[in-house]
Structure formats: structure tokens, C-alpha cells
Structure 1
Amino acid sequence: MPITRKESLYFGLIMCFGMVLFMTLYNLYLNDAFGQISFLGGITDFLIGFIVALILDLYLVGPLAKKVAYRLTANTTNVLYKVLTISTCMVIGMAFFMSIYGLVTSYFHNGFSSNSVIKEFFSVFFRNFVVALPLQIIIIGPIVRYIFTKYIKTTQNNLVV
């Protein structure tokens, strides 16, 4: 989809915004935090999560996920397989790191509530993954790709002088 660095930045901004927004709402719901957190607190949590996710997307998870996905789909020309593989690799990586982020912030605010950090991590990771994967593949991914190709993507016609 994105070819230039600028296009990658725009694509990442839109994708992270959508995914972090829905996943923040989902995690607030899971933790019964809607009544406990102020509107400003919710916005602050969203913005911090968005910045963390964007940095991960642009500099760590995104490049690594694309490298793995391109190796896995090297023998196919089917674009759908490539898109689904990149999306799945991205969700695995982002769910992994954002679950760590969520645990760290949870422990920072509430202290340790579990005897096993590993068990708690896998619980959070699984809950995030089972929602993030269909959200990415069925809802956010197609919407972002539509917005990107309709309003941002540089076409060959614009490049010809």
C-alpha cells in the first residue's frame, strides 16, 4: 500500500488511531473503568497509548512484521494473502507489546494484583489478540486502506509530468 516514507507515516497514523481507539474502549470496558475514569483521563490514556503504538508501528513492529510477512508470502502473487499476512503479523506484534504496555500502566496505577506476571501477561495478550485480529482484518484494515487509497495514495497519474 504505502510506497514512500510520507505515505507510510500517514497510513500508520490512521491505522494506529483506529486500532488504539477501539482497543482502548475495549480495555476500559473489560476493566470496568468507564465509571472510574474521567473523560480527560480517558483521553490522556488514549493519547499516550496512541504515541506508544505509533512508535512501535513505525520503528519496531511494522518493519519486522513486513519482513516476516514478505518471507512467508514470497512464493505467491496474491495481494490478498500478502495483506492478510502483514495484518496478522502486525496484530501479533502490536498485541504483544501493547499488552506489556497495558500491564505496566496497570501496575503503575493499581499495583501488583497477581502472583504471576507471566500468567497475567498471557491473559491480557489473549484477550487483546482475539479482539484485535478480527477488528484489524474485518473493520479497521479495510476502512483505513479505503481512506488511504481514496485520499492519500499518490497515483501514477499525479507523478507523470
Structure 2
Amino acid sequence: MPTNKRESLIFTVIMCFCMVLWMSCYNVARVNDWELGLPTLADAWLGFPPAYVVAMLLDVLLASRFAKWFAFRFLVTPGKSGRLAIALAISTMMVFPMVLFMSLYGALEAFTHAGDPAMILPTWIANIPWNFIAALPWNLLVAGPVSRWVFRRAFPEGTVLAEPASA
């Protein structure tokens, strides 16, 4: 778990990369009738950079604030709940706003290719359950643990300072 704002931003970069890459591959495969192969991976990779930027902005500006507020208000208590419980509560609550926002992003992206504005709302609504059933288990079982492992291997506890050292 990150212990300050700098660690939190670094962790967010890693976690967002894992989630957006997986969800990009998942959604491109889903749109292509679950056909897996190089064309699907190429399409997912090409759509990854703008989706990553949007996801990072949504994460930092909206989703993480909501997730922490909800988790600490209703699910866990700092000082009483264990680190794992806190991590799972926040990770779970991150999925809800991110799925809503990124499903809308996907519907808007589909509109730019198809050009029918009447399809934005139905596409968005249809994408939400599909994305939720893929994002929640991936977040809790793969991306979260892998991101925490990578983060702590790259930045052992206490190595990322809260404030830069003054010269």
C-alpha cells in the first residue's frame, strides 16, 4: 500500500497500466466476437494510449477520491482494519466509478468509428455489466496483487519520500 501522495501516484501509474491494458484487450476481443490473435492485440494496443490517459485522469481526479471516501466511510476503519482489508475495500470501490466512466469512454470511442450518436447511450448501458464482470475479478485477483508486488519491489517501503530532499 502506498504511504504518501508520491507513492500513491506511482502505484496508480502501475495499476492503471495493468487495468487499461487488460480491459482494452478484453473489449476489443469482445467486439471482435472473442477472436484472439495479433489483429485483436494490435487494435487494443493502438487504442491503449488515449484510454490510459483518460483512465489516469479519471482515477486521480474522481474515482480514487470516491473509492477512499466510500471505503473509509462504510467498509473499513483506519487503525482497526488490516492493510489487506483496506486495500481490498479501496480496490473494489475503484471498479464501480471506473467501469461507469470507461464504459462511457468506450461508447464514445465507438461513436467516433460508427458515427451514429443514437447508439452512444445503448452502447454505454450494454458495456457496463460486461466491463464490470471483467474488471472486478481482474482488479482483485491479478492487477492489484501484481501491481502491489511490482511497486514494492521497485520502491521498498520508506524509499519514496513524501517531500523532496532540500539541497
In structure 2, relative to structure 1, the CA distance for the partners of 1:114 and 1:31 (3 Å cut) is: farther
How many Å apart are 1:121 and its aligned residue? 2.1
Superposition TM-score, scaled by structure 1 size: 0.84
**Where in structure 2 are the equivalents of 1:12-161 lying within 5 Å?**
12-32=12-32, 39=42, 42-72=44-74, 73-74=76-77, 76-112=80-116, 117=121, 119-155=122-158
The superposition leaves residues 1-42 of structure 1 with CA deviations (integer Å, 9 ceiling, x where unpaired) of: 112222111101000101000100001101118787793x54
Paired residues of 2:63 and 2:94 also in contact (CA < 8 A): yes
Q: Distance in 1 between matches of 2:86 and 2:142?
A: 17
- Counterpart of 1:106 in structure 2: which amino acid? A
| Cα distance change on mapping 1:4 and 1:24 into 2, 3 Å | same
Q: In 2, distance between residues paired with 1:38 and 1:138? A: 22
Structure 2 residues without counterparts, runs of 5 or longer: 163-167
For the aligned residue pairs, the C-alpha RMSD in angstroms reads 2.7
**Which runs of no fewer than 5 residues in structure 1 stay unpaired?**
none
- CA 1:82/1:38 → structure 2, altered by over 3 Å: closer, same or farther? closer
- Contact 1:23–1:128 under 8 Å retained in 2: yes
Instruction: For 1:26, give the aligned amino acid.
Output: Y
CA deviation after TM superposition for structure 1 residue 68, in Å? 1.0
Q: Provide the aligned length of Structure 1 versus Structure 2.
A: 156
When the two structures are superposed, what TM-score results if normalisation uses the length of structure 2? 0.81
